[in-house]
A and B are shown apart, each in its own frame.
Chain A
Amino acid sequence: MAFYADKDYTVDETVLDAAKKVMEGNLGLHWYEAKTERITGRASDPRRGLTYQDLDIGSYGYTNIPEDVRTSQSMVSRGSEKVGKLPDMGYVVNRKSDVWSDNVAELYEEDKARRWVPATDIPWNELHAHPIAPELEMACAQLYTFLQECQIVSMDFPSKWVALINQDFLEQKSWLCAQMLDASRLFEVFRKRALYGGAGLGRASVTAEQGLKEWLWADQFPQGSVSINLSLAGFLLVVYRQVAAFAPTKVDRAIMRYAMQDAGRQTAYGLGQLRYHLKHRPLEVNAMEGYLDHTEHALLGLIGSPELLEPMIIICGGGLEKAQVDKGRIATAKFIRLVVREYMERIAAAGLAGHARRSRIPAMIDRISASA
């Protein structure tokens, strides 16, 4: 046991007596006198319903959370009265600028409103009705194997941090939970697509997994968030758009269209978090640049993975004939350049305007895509 409550309540007569008294009808009603604000939450738009943005009021709101949360270390819900010996949860992330993004409540509400269900929202029968060539199906199976590896990390990152982040950032913690659901849903749909098609799963990617592990185990949340929510999600967003554009079946197009919505929210948070972090902590610019210098090589591990590039070439070209492979190589070279261009755009927009000039990635990418 890592923690024991301050007493064993089965042998605490005071607690048992108090409960007995209440059940006999002697209500103490001490909570009636809680020193908290009395507010009335109302939906600003009835069609949208009551949102967290509507409840951004006074001590219950998120706007006034201070940069350093010093007085709240228990699981108490923000705005309620704190009394007695509340446990210290040992939160290690207590600075707003380490986790916050101005769009976090909006993204959480949007995530729930735009939820979808792989089991029923994907026209799975289309795969029966319009089967594709075996080499295309094999390529799809490999691609979806690769994407599952990426989604495991997308699921693990918020899971790893959520219990370490101060409860006062409840909207952000809720958003992390929504991200876990998004990632598990994408993992589910990629796995189902691969296994439905009959080709089974393909081969794991060493270069992708080595890099993903390095990103996942970043020491601090802002650094890890840049890697997972901005670099990885930005990369995946372009993968989804690419596969949707060259989709061999209606099923693949439907999957990718939903996937790009989920990835788009993730990049919106990644960009918003980095932007908020650097705006409120300008002295962290150099540290973040240094982190990216050391770790963005993992992007090359993803982009350069044969377990991604080869199936993508086959899918984009439509098969394995030379002309098809040539067509696929050209489309994949454009994909690679698009991934890096958008990554650099987001990094610059977040506050690291000169990063593209110092990064090693563009030159490496030129070497790869020049071959096409």
Chain B
Amino acid sequence: MAISFPSTEYFEALKAQMAANEEKFRRLGFIDTTFGVSVGVNGKARNFVLEFEVFDLKNVSEVPAIDLKKVDFQIEGDSRVWREMIENIRRNGEADSAHDINTLAHFGERLKIVYDDPDGHDKLYRFMQSIQEFFDLSSKLEVSF
């Protein structure tokens, strides 16, 4: 059965996939960051907070608004961009160069990284490989939009 995006169920499914692929994430090293994902849908945003600890996604929750002081950074973008990324991952098994988080967010033109403290922003890059591989696990899910 397809999992709807954006939804807590989608991130919970990625969490389960992350646990199932523990060895891969263990090899990439600790990932200790809490970040927000904001998906714009018809002029409104659905917001999620993802808490990663050691090798796992420890907790995911949907919130009315993301407090930037309580997260390291937030990745925000329109649902069309997120959909394009997830469909690209589904097609290729992983995001290609044009569709990974770094490229989509680099100039802030498609996805945007917002943050309160540059120290939090740096965590996106400190854990980039793990974060990208986390989203690449979408290739194992059937996702509906």
Q: How large is the interface on B (under 10, 10 to 19, 20 to 34, 35 or more residues)?
A: 20 to 34
Enumerate chain B residues within 8 angstroms of A109, measured Cβ to Cβ: 30
Q: Which one, B54, B121, B125, contacts A261 given CB within 8 A?
A: B125
Residues of A within 8 A of B (CB-CB), count? 36
- A346 adjacent to B118 (CB under 8 Å): yes
Contacts of A106 in B (CB 8 A): 32
Q: A257: which of B54, B102, B106, B118 is its contact (CB, 8 Å)?
A: B102
Residues of chain B with a CB closer than 8 A to A260's CB: 102, 125, 128
Cβ B125 vs Cβ A113 within 8 A: no
- Given A250-B97, A349-B119, 11 new contacts (CB under 8 A): A103-B119, A110-B126, A237-B122, A237-B125, A257-B102, A261-B127, A264-B126, A267-B122, A268-B119, A271-B118, A338-B107
Nearest B residue to A256 via CB reads B102
Give the top 5 A-B pairs by smallest Cβ distance, nearest first. Answer: A114-B29, A264-B125, A113-B29, A264-B126, A245-B103
How far is B103's CA from A260's CA once the two chains are assembled, in angstroms?
A: 13
A261 with B128, Cβ < 8 A, contacts A47-B55, A244-B102 known: yes
A296 CA to B121 CA in the complex, in Å?
A: 23
Q: Do residues A45 and B54 form an inter-chain contact, with CB atoms below 8 A?
A: yes
Is B46 close to A, CB under 8 A?
Answer: no
Q: Tell me whether B107 and A334 are in contact (CB under 8 A).
A: yes
Please indicate the chain A residues that have their CB under 8 angstroms from the CB of B106 in the complex.
Answer: 241-242, 245
A-B pairs with beta carbons under 8 Å apart, 26 shown: A103-B119, A109-B30, A110-B29, A110-B126, A114-B28, A114-B126, A241-B102, A241-B106, A244-B97, A244-B100, A245-B97, A245-B103, A250-B97, A257-B102, A257-B129, A258-B129, A260-B128, A261-B127, A263-B125, A264-B122, A264-B123, A264-B126, A264-B128, A267-B118, A342-B121, A349-B118
Residue A96 at the B interface, CB < 8 A? no
CA distance A106 to B100 in the complex (A): 27
Whether A268 pairs with B122 at a CB distance below 8 angstroms is: yes
Looking across the interface, which residue of chain B has its beta carbon closest to that of A45? B54
Cβ contact of B126, chosen from A242, A268, A334, cutoff 8 A = A268
The docked-state distance in angstroms from the alpha carbon of A10 to that of B61 is 69
Q: Taking the complex as formed, is A104 at the interface, i.e. its CB lies under 8 A from any CB of chain B?
A: no
Q: Which residue of A lies closest to B124 (CB)?
A: A264
Tell me, yes or no, whether A265 is within 8 Å of chain B by CB. yes
Chain B residues with CB below 8 A from A242, complex form = 106
Q: Which residues of A lie under 8 Å from residue B32 when comparing CB positions? A: 106, 110
What residues of chain B lie closer than 8 Å to A342, measured between beta carbons?
118, 121
Which of B28, B119, B128 touches A272 (beta carbons < 8 Å)?
Answer: B119
Interface string of B111-145 (1 = CB under 8 A from A): 00000011101111111110010000000000000
